[in-house]
Structure 1
Amino acid sequence: MLNRRLLRIKVMQALYAYQQAIAADLLLAQDRIAAAFEPDLTADKAPDRRLLEGQRKLGEAQLREWHRTGELPEAGADDQAVASAVQAAIAYYQRLVQKEGAFYGGQLLHGAESIHDQYLHLLNMPQALLEVITEDNEREARRFTGRRFEAADSARLFANAAFEKVRENEQLLQTTIKHKLQWTDSEELEALREAWQKEIKPDPTVQTYLSGKPTGLVETDYETDMELLRHLYKEFVFKGEALPRWLEANDLNWEENRPIVRNLVLKTLKMLPYPAEPTQELMNLSANWQDDRDFAETLYKQTLEDDAKSEKLIAESVQNWDVERVALLDKIILKMALCEMQLFRGIPVKVTINEYIEISKLYSTPKSKQFVNGILDKLAQDLAASGDIRKSGRGLLDNQ
Structure 2
Amino acid sequence: MLNRRLLRIKVMQALYAYQQAVAADLLLAQDRIAAAFEPDLTADVAPDRRLLEGQRKLGEAQLRDWHRTGELPESGSDDKEVAAAVKGAIEYYERLVNKEGAFYGGQLLHGAESIHDQYLHLLNMPQALLQIITEDNEREARRFTGPRFDPQGTARLFENAAFAKLKENEQLLQTTIKRKLQWTDSEELEALRDAWQKEMKPDEAVQAYLAGKNTGLAETDYETDMELVRHLYKDFVFKGEALPRWLESNDLNWEENRPIVRNLVLKTLKMLPYAADEKQELMNLSANWQDDRDFAETLYKQTLADDAKSEKLIAESTQNWDVERVALLDKIILKMALCEMQLFRGIPVKVTINEYIEISKLYSTPKSKQFVNGILDKLAQDLAASGEIRKSGRGLLDNQ
Query: Deviations for 1:74-113, whole angstroms, at most 9, x for unmatched residues?
Result: 3467412111100110000000000000000000000001
Structure 2 Cα separation of the partners of residues 257 and 392 of structure 1:
32
The equivalent of 1:131 in structure 2 is: 131
SS of alignment partner, residue 90 of structure 1: helix
- Letter matched to residue 144 of structure 1: F
Structure 1 Cα separation of the partners of residues 348 and 321 of structure 2:
29
RMSD of the TM alignment (CA)? Answer: 0.8
Structure 2 Cα separation of the partners of residues 376 and 207 of structure 1:
56
Q: How does 1:1-400 map to 2 (within 5 A)?
A: 1-75=1-75, 78-400=78-400
SS of alignment partner, residue 109 of structure 1: helix
Q: How much identity, in percent, do the aligned residues show?
A: 89
Structure 2 Cα separation of the partners of residues 77 and 174 of structure 1:
63
Specify whether residues 304 and 327 from structure 1 end up closer, same or farther in structure 2 by C-alpha distance, changes over 3 A only: same
Structure 2 Cα separation of the partners of residues 290 and 319 of structure 1:
41
- Letter matched to residue 25 of structure 1: D
Task: Structure 1: give runs of 5+ residues left out of the alignment.
Answer: none
Structure 2 Cα separation of the partners of residues 226 and 213 of structure 1:
15
Specify whether residues 380 and 76 from structure 1 end up closer, same or farther in structure 2 by C-alpha distance, changes over 3 A only: closer
Query: Deviations for 1:191-222, whole angstroms, at most 9, x for unmatched residues?
Result: 00000000000111111101111000000000
1:145 CA displacement: 2.3
Structure 1 Cα separation of the partners of residues 336 and 148 of structure 2:
59
- For normalisation by structure 2, the TM-score amounts to 0.99
1:396 CA displacement: 0.6
* Alpha carbons 1:32, 1:89 under 8 Å: kept: yes
Query: Deviations for 1:106-128, whole angstroms, at most 9, x for unmatched residues?
Result: 00000001100000000000000
* Alpha carbons 1:75, 1:83 under 8 Å: kept: no
Q: Which runs of 4+ in 1 moved over 3 A?
A: 74-78
Query: Deviations for 1:342-380, whole angstroms, at most 9, x for unmatched residues?
Result: 000000000000000010111111111111111101110
- For normalisation by structure 1, the TM-score amounts to 0.99
* Alpha carbons 2:346, 2:393 under 8 Å: kept: yes
Structure 2 Cα separation of the partners of residues 289 and 383 of structure 1:
30
Deviates more, 1:209-218 or 1:136-145: 136-145
Structure 1 Cα separation of the partners of residues 356 and 135 of structure 2:
49
- Letter matched to residue 280 of structure 2: Q
1:273 CA displacement: 0.6
* Alpha carbons 2:30, 2:89 under 8 Å: kept: yes
Structure 1 Cα separation of the partners of residues 271 and 134 of structure 2:
28
* Alpha carbons 1:168, 1:278 under 8 Å: kept: yes
- Letter matched to residue 18 of structure 1: Y
Specify whether residues 144 and 77 from structure 1 end up closer, same or farther in structure 2 by C-alpha distance, changes over 3 A only: closer
Structure 2 Cα separation of the partners of residues 234 and 268 of structure 1:
13
**Number of aligned residues:** 400
Query: Deviations for 1:143-182, whole angstroms, at most 9, x for unmatched residues?
Result: 1122221111111100000000000000000000000000
* Alpha carbons 2:349, 2:399 under 8 Å: kept: no
Task: Structure 2: give runs of 5+ residues left out of the alignment.
Answer: none
